[in-house]
Amino acid sequence: MSNVATSFGIEEALQELGIKETNHGTSTGSNWMPGENEIASYSPVDGDLIGKVTSTTKEEYEQVIATATEAFKTWRVMPAPQRGEIVRQFGEELRRLKEPLGKLVSYEMGKSYQEGLGEVQEMIDICDFAVGLSRQLHGLTMHSERPGHRMYEQYHPLGIVGIISAFNFPVAVWSWNTALAWICGDVCVWKPSEKAPLCGIACQKIAAKVFEDNNLPEGISCLINGDYKVGEYMTQDGRVPLISATGSTRMGKIVAKTVGERLGKSLLELGGNNAIIVTPDADIKMTVIGAVFGAVGTAGQRCTSTRRLIIHESIYDQVKNALVDAYGQLRIGNPLDENNHVGPLIDTDAVAMYNQALEKVVAEGGNIIVEGGVLEGEGYESGCYVKPAIAEANNSFEIVQHETFAPVLYLLKYSGDVVNAIDVQNGVAQGLSSAIMTNNLREAERFLSHAGSDCGIANVNIGTSGAEIGGAFGGEKETGGGRESGSDAWKVYMRRQTNTINYTTELPLAQGIKFDL
């Protein structure tokens, strides 16, 4: 372990979470399988090897699916409130292990320790939400047109839910899906990102203990590991009725096509190109705080990160100057040190994409006002630390139309009324998160109206990132249309059934059709 890891207690955190130098990567609960072809996990914080995970073989995958299928037969008939009790216990284990798991998230992914703890808190919150939901999986009752008949709707569990998660939220997004799927009576098979596999190992160990302590069968919580080929095992498998996939739009299109060809269900959470509109009636101080956190939080590696700032021409220079001053105060370094604001990108491939984006915006005619660049020297040995950059640009630039998963913020100027700004906001292929900064009620309501933001998330006087679990999370257009977490997102994990009961001695037909014998 490096001095960084030692000084911040990473070794102790790994021990508490049961992480070893080499870890079996396939699990049906307490049963771990040897796998093959090790995946090495290096920390972007200091470049050190944290541990290794073995990939899932095709034979092991088949064993996982067979075990999950059997477990579903038991799990689905357990009353939902009893399933809620299991999820409650899982949430309690997360509370007990919040600190070590938060440290692992920070060290393996590179986000700040506070954000790592926040991610585990999201897991705890969704467990609390799911426990309450376990007594509220409501259907509807309807009046029948036929005398002596009753109609109602109910929801049944789907079966196996396949979860493919991304590196930037290596534990929270899995829990959004899993907590709700478990409540609904489904069993889960999770393929975490190969860039953060140890977080998956830790979560599976925590869940497995809860299920084992309650004498529940193997297969309710399953883990597989590997590259995209292992993910394809699930996307192509008709025994997995729902695939929930988080990642790039490119990846999502492949998943949607593959799952759609077998008429399966997809829940897609894909790329974002999120903007904040800043009107003349905006509170500038609030705007700067929201924009800076949105742009540099998690080093710009959130799907809800702020990519574009659409500023009215009358206050453009004022906002620009305030942002430049704020960026001058950012501290970049070890994310486990809570004095720092910005940690590293996930790996050197991400650094290369960051550099390409800055080169591209200049080539297209943009003007960089806060210089970027890769940091070198003591504390930056991993090669993954970059400077958050700001560029003046145009929404029509090709690079602005695409999501760059890095701390690059584009400033765009608009004139006229807020309708023009909304047109710019909506003028990209993605539709995840959006925000407006204004104290003008009419502008705010127009932004939220049918003719306003076309995103799945639209905020007023807060930034684009930092969603709460109580609301459904997801976006439109090339963001995929999926909804996870709160509200009625639970319905995607269940199949709807309409029931009609005849409690008479007659058999009248619908629409008054006569069929006499």
Tell me which residues are annotated as active site. Answer: 269, 303
Joined together, the tokens standing for residue 65 give: 């699916």
Query: In whole angstroms, what is the distance from residue 304 CA to residue 436 CA?
Result: 14
What is the DSSP secondary structure assignment for residue 265, as one 8-state letter?
E
Q: Which among 493, 364, 466, 363 has a CA at the least distance from the CA of 115?
A: 466
What is the number of alpha carbons within 13 Å of residue 125 lying toward its C-beta?
17
246 close to 165: Cβ distance less than 8 angstroms: yes
C-alpha–C-alpha distance, residues 309 and 413, integer Å: 8
Q: Which long-range contacts (CB under 8 A, 24 or more apart) does 420-427 make?
A: 421/277, 421/279, 421/310, 421/312, 422/277, 422/446, 422/447, 422/451, 422/452, 422/453, 424/275, 424/308, 424/310, 424/395, 425/275, 425/277, 425/308, 425/310, 425/453, 426/453, 426/454, 427/395
Do the beta carbons of residue 294 and residue 278 sit within 8 Å? no
Considering only CA atoms, which of 248, 254, 410, 249 is closest in space to residue 320? 410
Query: 404, 445, 410, 408: which is closest to 424 by C-alpha?
Result: 410
Beta bridge partners of 476: 431
d(CA 279, CA 312): 5
Three-state DSSP state, 54: strand
Contacts for 48 with CB less than 8 Å, ≥ 6 apart:
1, 2, 4, 5, 42
- Whether residue 56 contacts residue 226, with contact meaning beta carbons closer than 8 Å, is answered with yes
Amino acid at 47: G
Count CB-CB contacts under 10 A for residue 280. 15
Residue holding tokens 């890095």? 406
368 strand-pairing partners: 391
> Which among 433, 375, 371, 372 is positioned nearest to 403, based on CA atoms?
433
Q: Are strands 242-246 and 160-164 parallel, antiparallel or unpaired?
A: parallel
